[in-house]
Structure 1
Amino acid sequence: MTTLTGHHHISMLTKDGKKNHDFYTHILGLRRVKMTVNQDTPTMYHLFYGDLTGSPGTELTFFEMPIAGRTTRGTNAITRIGLFVRSYESLHYWKKRFENHDVQHGEITTYAGKDALHFEDHEGLRMVLLNLNSNEIPAHWQPFENNTIKREHTILGMGTTEITVKSLSSTIDLLTTIFGYTICSQSHTQALLQHEQGNAYGEIKLIEQDGPTERPGRGSIHHLALRIESEEALRELNEQLLAYGLHTSGVIDRYYFHSLYVRDHNHILFEIATDSPGFTVDSSIEELGTRLDLPPFLEPRRKEIEAALTPLD
Structure 2
Amino acid sequence: MYTIPGHHHISMITKNAQQNNRFYRDILGLRRVKVTVNQDDTSMYHLFYGDKTGSPGTELSFFEIPLVGRTHRGTNAITKIGLIVPSVDSLQYWVKRLDEFGVQHEGITIFAGRPALLFEDEEGLRLALIAAPNTKVGHWETYEKSPVPVEHQIQGMGTVEITVKNKGKLIRTLTEIFHYGLKTQDETTALLQSIDDEMFGEIYIVEQDGPSEKPGRGSIHHLAIRVKDDEELKYWNEQVKARGFMTSGIVDRYYFKSLYFRESNGILFEVATDGPGFLRDGDVDSLGEQLDLPDFLEQQREEITAKLKPIL
Given that 1:2 and 1:178 are in contact with CA atoms closer than 8 Å, whether structure 2 keeps it comes out as no
Greater CA drift, 75-84 or 194-203:
194-203
Instruction: Find out whether 1:23 has 2:23 as its counterpart.
Output: yes
Task: Report the identity percentage.
Answer: 57
The residue aligned with 1:116 is: 116
Aligned-partner residue type, residue 204 of structure 1: I
The residue aligned with 2:165 is: 166
What pairs up with 1:50-69 in 2 under 5 angstroms?
Answer: 50-69=50-69
The residue aligned with 2:92 is: 92
> C-alpha deviations, 1:251-289, integer Å up to 9, x for none?
001000000000000000000000010000001111110
Greater CA drift, 40-49 or 102-111:
102-111
Given that 1:15 and 1:67 are in contact with CA atoms closer than 8 Å, whether structure 2 keeps it comes out as yes
Given that 1:5 and 1:202 are in contact with CA atoms closer than 8 Å, whether structure 2 keeps it comes out as yes
Aligned-partner residue type, residue 67 of structure 2: I
Given that 1:108 and 1:116 are in contact with CA atoms closer than 8 Å, whether structure 2 keeps it comes out as yes
Question: Gaps spanning 5+ residues in structure 1: where?
Answer: none
Q: Distance in 1 between matches of 2:196 and 2:235?
A: 23
Q: Distance in 2 between matches of 1:268 and 1:237?
A: 17
The residue aligned with 2:248 is: 249
Given that 2:30 and 2:146 are in contact with CA atoms closer than 8 Å, whether structure 1 keeps it comes out as no
Helix, strand or coil at the partner of 1:44: strand
Greater CA drift, 12-21 or 98-107:
98-107
Q: Distance in 2 between matches of 1:17 and 1:286?
A: 22
Helix, strand or coil at the partner of 2:41: coil
Structure 1 moving runs of 4+ over 4 Å:
none
Helix, strand or coil at the partner of 1:42: strand
Q: Distance in 2 between matches of 1:262 and 1:33?
A: 26
Q: Distance in 1 between matches of 2:205 and 2:55?
A: 25
Helix, strand or coil at the partner of 1:127: strand
What pairs up with 1:140-151 in 2 under 5 angstroms?
Answer: 140-146=139-145, 148-151=147-150
Q: Distance in 2 between matches of 1:232 and 1:147?
A: 36
Q: Distance in 1 between matches of 2:150 and 2:249?
A: 41
Cα deviation for residue 69 of structure 1 reads 0.6
Helix, strand or coil at the partner of 2:42: coil
What pairs up with 1:127-138 in 2 under 5 angstroms?
Answer: 127-133=127-133, 135-138=134-137
Aligned-partner residue type, residue 179 of structure 1: F
The residue aligned with 1:70 is: 70
Q: Distance in 2 between matches of 1:257 and 1:147?
A: 25
Aligned-partner residue type, residue 115 of structure 2: D
The residue aligned with 1:304 is: 303
Q: Distance in 1 between matches of 2:100 and 2:213?
A: 31
Q: Distance in 1 between matches of 2:146 and 2:59?
A: 20
Given that 2:44 and 2:65 are in contact with CA atoms closer than 8 Å, whether structure 1 keeps it comes out as yes
Q: Distance in 1 between matches of 2:177 and 2:146?
A: 43
Q: Distance in 2 between matches of 1:140 and 1:7?
A: 11
Aligned-partner residue type, residue 209 of structure 2: D
What pairs up with 1:216-227 in 2 under 5 angstroms?
Answer: 216-227=215-226
Root mean square deviation of aligned Cα? 0.9
Instruction: Find out whether 1:195 has 2:161 as its counterpart.
Output: no
Aligned-partner residue type, residue 45 of structure 2: Y
Helix, strand or coil at the partner of 2:246: coil
What pairs up with 1:154-303 in 2 under 5 angstroms?
Answer: 154-303=153-302
Cα deviation for residue 140 of structure 1 reads 2.2
Aligned-partner residue type, residue 303 of structure 2: E
Helix, strand or coil at the partner of 2:20: helix
Given that 1:182 and 1:197 are in contact with CA atoms closer than 8 Å, whether structure 2 keeps it comes out as yes
Q: Distance in 2 between matches of 1:83 and 1:143?
A: 15
Q: Distance in 2 between matches of 1:181 and 1:262?
A: 17
Query: Normalising by the residue count of structure 1, what TM-score does the alignment of the two structures yield?
Result: 0.98
Aligned-partner residue type, residue 288 of structure 1: L
Q: Distance in 2 between matches of 1:147 and 1:271?
A: 29
What pairs up with 1:43-54 in 2 under 5 angstroms?
Answer: 43-54=43-54
Q: Distance in 2 between matches of 1:245 and 1:68?
A: 33
Cα deviation for residue 113 of structure 1 reads 1.3
